[in-house]
Structure 1
Amino acid sequence: MQTLVLCKPDAVRRNLIGEIIRRCEQKGYVVAKLAKLVPSRQLLAQHYLEHEGKPFYEPLMEFMLSGEVVAIALEGERVIEGFRALAGSTEPTLAAPGTIRGDLGRDWGTKVVQNLVHGSDSDESAARELALWFS
C-alpha cells in the first residue's frame, strides 16, 4: 500500500525534509518514489479540487506555490493511517508532542496554516494524488 506525502514549502524552506523522511523510515515505511519540484498552479488545482471556492483556497494555493515541494510515495502496511498519525493534527499548536507537526510545527500567524506535511486521507485519495504527482 502507498500514500502520498508532501513536504510543503515551509518544510523545504526550514530544511526539514531529511527529518520528515527519517521519521517515516524509522517507523518502518519505505520511500518508493521521491521528487522535488515547484508545483504548477494546474497541479495544485487538481490536488485541491475539493477545496475550490472555499475562503482558504486562494491563500492555500499562494502558500503551496511559494516554493519547492517534496512529493513522496511512501509505502508500507496501513501506511495511510500510519503516516497521518505520525504527522499529527493539522493544527500545529494542538498537535501532540512526538508527531511531525507537534515537534516541528507552529502557528506563524499566516493567512493559511503552514503545517509542514500533507498525507492522503484514504485509499481513493492516495491513488488519485499519487497519479497526479507521479504521472
Structure 2
Amino acid sequence: MDDERILILVKPDGVASGHIGEVVSRLEKKGYHIDDLKIVLATKDQLARHYKQLVDKPFYPEIESYMQEGPIVAMIASGTNIVKVFHRMAGATNPSDADFGTIRGDFGREWPDGILRNVVHSSDSVPAAEEEIGIWFPEKSAEKSD
C-alpha cells in the first residue's frame, strides 16, 4: 500500500489558542511525516476554491469570515491510510459532538456567535487531498510524497 498525502489546516482558532504544536505532535507520535508546513493568511480566492461546494450556501460568508480571522497553518502530511486515520484523530466536525481524546473534542467548542470553529480541517479523500494541496501549496501540487 502506498503512502497517501493529506492537507491539514490548523484553523485560526487553533492557531490563536496555541494548538499547532499539539496537532504536529499527534501526527508525529503516530509515525506520520510532515512534508511541508507554512503559515498563511487565507485569500478569498483560496477559500472559494477550497469550499467550492459551499460557496452558494447562505452560511458561506460566516465560513469565509472565520477562516480570515487570523493566520492558518497549512501542512502536507503523509503516511499509510493517513486520510482515514487523521479524520479519526480530528474527531466529529462539530466540537460538541467530538469524542474526548480527539483534536476537536479536546480543543474545540461552540461559541455564542454560532460560527463553527473546529480547530482543524483535513482532506476527506486522497483525490480531495491532492486538489486541496494544489490550492494551498501550488508549488507542490504535482509532487508525490516519497
1:110 aligns with 2:113: yes
Provide, for residues 10-35 of structure 1, a one-character-per-residue CA deviation record: whole Å limited to 9, x for no partner. 00111110011111111111100001
Provide the residue aligned with 1:75 in structure 2.
78
**2:13 alignment partner, SS class:** helix
Provide, for residues 22-68 of structure 1, a one-character-per-residue CA deviation record: whole Å limited to 9, x for no partner. 11111111100001011111111111111011122110000001110
TM-score by length of 1: 0.97
Provide the residue aligned with 2:9 in structure 1.
6
Distance (Å, rounded) in 2 between the aligned partners of 1:129 and 1:99: 23
Runs of 4+ in 1 over 4 A off after TM superposition: none
User: What amino acid is the match of 1:6?
Assistant: L
Provide the residue aligned with 1:97 in structure 2.
100
**1:85 alignment partner, SS class:** helix
Provide the residue aligned with 1:22 in structure 2.
25
The offset of 1:89, in angstroms, is 0.2
Asked if 2 retains the 8 angstrom alpha-carbon contact of 1:30 and 1:76, the reply is yes
User: What amino acid is the match of 2:110?
Assistant: D
Asked if 2 retains the 8 angstrom alpha-carbon contact of 1:9 and 1:116, the reply is yes
1:21-40 to 2 correspondence within 5 Å? 21-40=24-43
Q: Give the greater-gyration-radius structure (CA).
A: 2
User: What amino acid is the match of 1:103?
Assistant: D
Distance (Å, rounded) in 1 between the aligned partners of 2:123 and 2:113: 23
CA RMSD of aligned residues (A): 0.8
Provide, for residues 107-127 of structure 1, a one-character-per-residue CA deviation record: whole Å limited to 9, x for no partner. 122332000000000111101
TM-score by length of 2: 0.90
Asked if 2 retains the 8 angstrom alpha-carbon contact of 1:56 and 1:112, the reply is no
Distance (Å, rounded) in 2 between the aligned partners of 1:96 and 1:33: 28
Structure 1: which 5+ residue stretches go unaligned?
Answer: none
Aligned residues: 135
Provide the residue aligned with 1:122 in structure 2.
125
Structure 2: which 5+ residue stretches go unaligned?
Answer: 139-146
